[in-house]
Structure 1
Amino acid sequence: MSMAFSRAASAYADIGRHSGVEAASPHRLIEMLYEGALDRIARARGKLMRADVSGMGQDITRALRIVEGLRMSLDRSSTSELAANLDDLYDYLTRRLLQASAGRDAGMLDECSGLLRTLSDAWSQIPMNLRHGAPAGATLAAVGA
């Protein structure tokens, strides 16, 4: 497992979501990170609706840690624009999650969920033969993300 994926696995394991992180393939790990971030944002939204500001903040913090794990997993050695574009998108998501927390804004949480769901859907459509051994940037480029 590469250092970037180790950091991403650590970010996911730290929130205690899944015991099989270390055994996951790099492709599955990214799927799990997307699932975890979407779950935490949904939980934060629910807590916001129930006026549990403290709980909302905790879930947004966990979502932020997962987005950072996704960001750290990017293959920056490639000359593709894909890693740079994803880095910019993860930076945007980080800023929007922080703004959603500060402003208690459910719409911003929904926006972040929508963006992450689009990425997750594209990631899950990567053909099986491209899921093992190829850098993350290369696999996403294969599906036109």
Structure 2
Amino acid sequence: MIALAHSHQIYRKQCLLVNESTTLRRHAEANFAGKYRQWAKEHSFKSMLPGDVKAHKEKAEQAQRTINSHLTECKLSERVIPYSDKLFKQASIEWLVATDQPIQALEHPKFQEMIYVASRATNSVKIPSCKATCAEII
């Protein structure tokens, strides 16, 4: 408690000590902004004054908006992975294992015919669903 004397009257002013960083930063910005920024610059320290933090955030958000404006969403169907023998071999082996096929399935004439037909597709191959396949067989 601090007592102040003024014209024979005593005023009592209560002081509170606060250790919150935001309060200290607001105080530093209000009273010592120039000195603090100079010290921060000399010591390669990022200024944590509330106004500077807000400016950093706004600058980062503006940069993100600029980046986002240049991005376009790539649909899965638009992304075509170029053919390679290595990629086909890998896909074949994964199919054999995942579907529990015999290794000789890759040598079956009907499997090879199916691959040959699919290889002539210009854009993509539409694989029929189970229902469509069942209906076609019946």
Q: In which range does the TM-score fall when normalised by the shorter chain?
A: under 0.3
Q: Which has the larger radius of gyration?
A: 2
**TM-score normalised by length of structure 2:** 0.23
**TM-score normalised by length of structure 1:** 0.22
Query: Could you say which structure has the higher helix fraction?
Result: 1
